[in-house]
Amino acid sequence: MKNLIVLFAFVLFAATAQSQSLTQKDVTGTWLVVNVENSNSNPKMAAAMTNAVINLYADNSFEIKEKQQNGTAYTYNTTSNKNATWSFNASTQTINTTRTKMTLKISKSGDKTFFTDSESGLKFEVNKPI
């Protein structure tokens, strides 16, 4: 009976861990930053990333577009380096970028997805609007 309980607990844990893992296909696409947490750790970057768009393209290129208010209209300015690329490590659930040298740790909480920048400590709540 004890072995059965241990086996059941292991299967439950494995299923939970597996369900929260993302694949490169899941990560690829356009992500909208809907909230920035820990903004006190880097207020300037937090302000810039509010409502930003992170594009992780299938060809492994990427760009970050920051929302700018020009008068009454909003525009997006690309702030990532030209020819920047990204890679995804499924075992650590991290995105690494070239040129900007960002490392984003991906996590999920319920139906929310977060990218946490390891250097600044900023945690971006993101969603895929497209």
Domains of the chain: 23-127 (2.40.128)
Give the percent of the chain with pLDDT over 90: 46
Question: Using an 8 Å Cβ cutoff, are 116 and 122 in contact?
Answer: yes
Q: Which helix (H) or strand (E) holds 27?
A: helix 24-27
Q: Which is nearest to 49 in space by CA: 88, 81, 76?
A: 76
CA–CA separation, 87 and 17 (whole Å)? 22
pLDDT for residue 103: 94
Q: Which of 8-12, 46-50, 77-81 has the lowest mean pLDDT?
A: 8-12
User: Model confidence at 45, in pLDDT bands (50, 70, 90)?
Assistant: confident
What average pLDDT is seen over the chain?
82
pLDDT for residue 73: 54
pLDDT tens digits, one per residue of 94-121: 999 987 788 999 999 999 999 999 988 9
Question: Using an 8 Å Cβ cutoff, are 50 and 34 in contact?
Answer: no
Rounded to a whole number of angstroms, the CA Rg of the chain reads 17
